[in-house]
Structure 1
Amino acid sequence: MARKKKTRAIVQEFDAYFGAGSLDDWQRLCRDVGLDGDYSSIAQCRKASIPPTSYGLRTVHVNIHDLLDAVKQGRRPQRFRNAAELAAYTVNNGKIYPKKHAKEMGPVKALMRRIL
């Protein structure tokens, strides 16, 4: 039961953080994960990456739980070099965002990685 509560809380927290999914929301997400740039459309935000590639936010490896904590503290979240490092950290710390709550083409979907 505690696990379901924790899952529900993180989903609600991300939904509250991201809002309705406006351009401002996408721009804030890019800034919060460390993608500095002038993105004038949601499509540009989705394609934003470091280093610039065609994979967009898929190149940014952050734990969603840590992202939300970092935003509350006014800092950037830890970024991992690759999905494997992120997966190990996520599993070891039990900070898994529930896959079934990742909305199609939404920001959570852009940040999700194969963990298990």
Structure 2
Amino acid sequence: MARKKKHRSIVQEFDDYFGTGTLEDWQRLCRDVGLDGYYGSITQCRKALRTVHVNIRDLLDAVRQGQSPQRFANTAQLAAYTVNTGRFYPRWRIKEMGPVRALMRRIS
């Protein structure tokens, strides 16, 4: 039960951070993960985010502290970090076209 509650709070925290999913929300996410440049559409933001490897829970912590999250060079490094730290985002809570989908990577 405690694990479900923890997952629910992480999901809610990301939803609160991201907002309603406007272009401005997507652009803020791009900036917060350290992407430079201008992205004039949600599609451009999604494509740009595919190149970024960050732990979603670390992203939320970094935003809360006014910092940039740690970025990894590739999926393998992100996977190793995530497994070692246990800082997973609940896969079953991913919305089909939402921002979490753009940041998710296959870990196993």
TM-score > 0.5, shorter chain as reference: yes
**Partner of residue 54, structure 1:** none
Identity %: 77
Q: Does 1:111 align with 2:103?
A: yes
After TM superposition, the score normalised by the length of structure 2 is 0.96
Q: Which runs of 4+ in 1 moved over 6 A?
A: none
Q: C-alpha root-mean-square deviation of aligned residues, in Å?
A: 0.8
**Partner of residue 8, structure 2:** 8
Structure 1: where are the runs of 5+ without partners? 49-56
CA distance in structure 1 between the partners assigned to 2:2 and 2:46 by the alignment: 34
User: What displacement does 1:90 show?
Assistant: 0.6
CA distance in structure 1 between the partners assigned to 2:63 and 2:87 by the alignment: 16
Q: Does 1:78 align with 2:50?
A: no
Count, aligned residues: 108
**Alignment equivalent of 1:62, drawn from 33, 54, 57:** 54
Higher relative contact order (CA 8 A, sep 6+): 2
CA distance in structure 2 between the partners assigned to 1:76 and 1:2 by the alignment: 29
After TM superposition, the score normalised by the length of structure 1 is 0.89
User: What displacement does 1:9 show?
Assistant: 0.7
Structure 2: where are the runs of 5+ without partners? none
Q: For 1:65-94, what per-residue CA distance to the aligned partner results, in whole angstroms no more than 9, with x for missing partners?
A: 000000011111000111111111111111
User: What displacement does 1:97 show?
Assistant: 0.4
User: What displacement does 1:37 show?
Assistant: 1.1
